[in-house]
Amino acid sequence: MEIAPRITIDEKVRFGKPVIKGTRVPVDLILGKLAGGMTYEEVMTEYDLAREDILAVLDYAAKHLADEEIRAIA
């Protein structure tokens, strides 16, 4: 099931974690690689992805975090 442009979930693929459509590459893996200093080009080469896939991952993460609520307990 597509949950965002180019991002899908399927309980039979990576235990239902969000992945890039048509692959088994998890969204969190790509975010981690970028956060670790890999360039778009390095990620694209290593995982056989298009630039649009990486941008879709970033867009999905940004929208997901925008909906997050944090409540201070004190």
Percent of the chain clearing pLDDT 70 (strictly above): 100
The tens digit of pLDDT for each residue in 30-62 reads: 999 999 999 999 999 999 999 999 999 999 999
Q: CA triplet 28, 16, 32: central angle to 5 degrees?
A: 5
pTM score of the predicted model: 0.88
| Tally of structural domains, the chain | 1
pLDDT at 68: 82
Residue 72 lies in a domain: no
Residue 71 lies in a domain: no
Q: Quote the domain boundaries for residue 44.
A: 2-66
Residue 74 lies in a domain: no
Q: Does pLDDT of 74 surpass 90?
A: no
User: Looking at residue 43, which CATH number applies to its domain?
Assistant: 1.10.10.10
pLDDT at 63: 94
Is there a contact between 19 and 9 (Cβ–Cβ < 8 Å)?
yes
